Amino acid sequence: MPWIVGGNYLKTEEKVLFVGKPHRGTPGEEFPSGILDPREPHLGWLMDCSWPYWSYTREILVSLYGDKDPWDYCSFTNIIKCTNVGGEGNPTNDKTTYHMAECCIRDLGVIFKEIEVLKPLHIVFYTYSLYPELLVNLPFAKSITETTNQNHKIKCGKKNLGWWTRLAKTSWSDNVKILVTGHPERMKKDHYVSLITDWIKT
């Protein structure tokens, strides 16, 4: 299930869905069923966390919607649901194999089912360096127009940032914008935030 589906998500013009890398760790309150509820205990943490993955996304949302409850205006999920984390000395180490990713993304298509349910108009995949070939075919799309090629990159600070953009026709919109870009880590914050904010606004 998605980490976040904001209460105001469906009210926004942009309907932005962020899709992250495989999750690490097991945050949240565990229900008797074994399912984890990561919501309330971590909303305060998300507002204060300095990790680029969260803080850059938060700044993108603040740029779009202001600093009052920014997480309430987006959806956020992970590209892979069946990850393999843990290991000696590093409980959050990601050991997801390519075969696991292939089964989860292409064969089971969980992420694509989530997209069909959430019906976003902007999708930002932070997964440029992870399995881009598994995003070539998008089952939720009736047709896809490539607006840049899969290997396209742009400058972000002094670094090159993966920047694969597409337009999809779907059952809920003829103009769903899709960006597959690099992970925020080690990217120049202000530039990274402005690039993605401007892409959403344009």
pLDDT in tens, 106-122: 999 999 999 999 999 99
CB 156 within 8 A of CB 188: yes
Give the other-Cβ count within 10 Å of 158's Cβ: 7
CB 148 within 8 A of CB 174: no
Domains located in the chain, CATH noted: 4-201 (3.40.470)
d(CA 120, CA 196): 16
Q: Which residues have C-beta within 8 Å of that of residue 132, sequence separation ≥ 6?
A: 150, 164, 180
φ, ψ of residue 98 to 5 degrees: the values are -65, -40
Among residues of the chain, what percentage have pLDDT more than 70? Answer: 79
Q: What is the pLDDT of residues 117-150, one digit of tens each?
A: 999 999 999 999 888 999 999 999 999 999 999 9
